[in-house]
Amino acid sequence: MTPITSLQDIEQLFAQRGGEQYSGERVTQLEHALQTACLAEQAGEDDALITAALLHDLGHLLHSLGDTPSLRGVDDAHQHRAVTALRGLFEAPVLQAIALHVDAKRYLCATDATYLKKLSADSQRSLALQGGVYSPAQASSFIAQAHARAAVRLRIWDDLAKSPGLPTPPLAHFMDCAQRVISTQNAPQLIAA
């Protein structure tokens, strides 16, 4: 997997693959990303969490496993693919929310009796592939991690961001948020002259 080294790389990836169906849902990958980021913004979150919301499922665009791998019993490990690709571009507040958003689903299933029933069919299938519902001890351990609470909020928006045709700001709007949270070690080489 080629690392993503600029915001232009992200824009290009969305341009090439953002029109693909979001696994088992009635929205595209780009619609889902924009809706998730929009929900984070509407909640008054900072640029880092808005960026994480935008990019949380980018890993789905970084493989060629086909549409809805969970139907074939495959966990595409999209959270890890995204974090690996974005590691040089963003720092922990963005990366950890992305890395933990799958485990946040497992946490919510363990701590909210109604949550599992609200999951889409694909989210329920992938839950089993991702390790299933956390035990009480696992849930306690999860939520004690840095950025876990942010990942839980991201996960809730992730579940809500599946409305076909819902108006959102364009990708460029959220890329401005991403520009503001680029890793300081990379900022000088990423700012356009």
Which neighbouring-strand residues pair with 90? 182
> What does the pLDDT look like over 141-192, one tens digit per residue?
999 999 999 999 999 999 999 999 999 999 999 999 999 999 765 544 433 3
Domain that holds residue 134: 7-187
In a domain, 101, yes or no: yes
> What does the pLDDT look like over 77-114, one tens digit per residue?
678 888 999 998 999 999 999 999 999 999 999 999 89
Tell me, what's the pLDDT at 6? Answer: 93
Domain total for the chain?
1
Q: Is the pLDDT of residue 75 over 90?
A: no
Tell me, what's the pLDDT at 50? Answer: 98
Tell me, what's the pLDDT at 54? Answer: 98
CA 159 to chain centre: 11
In a domain, 161, yes or no: yes
> What does the pLDDT look like over 18-49, one tens digit per residue?
998 877 788 999 999 999 999 999 999 999 99
In a domain, 154, yes or no: yes
- Neighbouring CB atoms inside 10 A of 78's CB total 23
What CATH number does the domain containing 28 carry? Answer: 1.10.3210.10
Chain position carrying tokens 């929900």: 39
In a domain, 1, yes or no: no
In a domain, 118, yes or no: yes
In a domain, 193, yes or no: no
CB 62 within 8 A of CB 1: yes
Tell me, what's the pLDDT at 148? Answer: 98
Residues 6+ apart with CB under 8 A from 3: 84, 85, 87, 88
Mean pLDDT of 103-131: 89
Model's pTM, two decimal places?
0.88
CA distances from 158 to 22, 39, 135, 137, 165 (A): 12, 9, 22, 25, 16
CA 171 to chain centre: 15
Q: How far apart are the first and last CA of the chain?
A: 28
Handedness of CA 46, 55, 34, 12 (dihedral sign): positive
Percentage of the chain exceeding pLDDT 90: 66
In a domain, 192, yes or no: no
In a domain, 2, yes or no: no
Closest CA to 50 of 97, 109, 82: 97
Q: What angle do CA 84, 4, 10 make, to 5 degrees?
A: 115
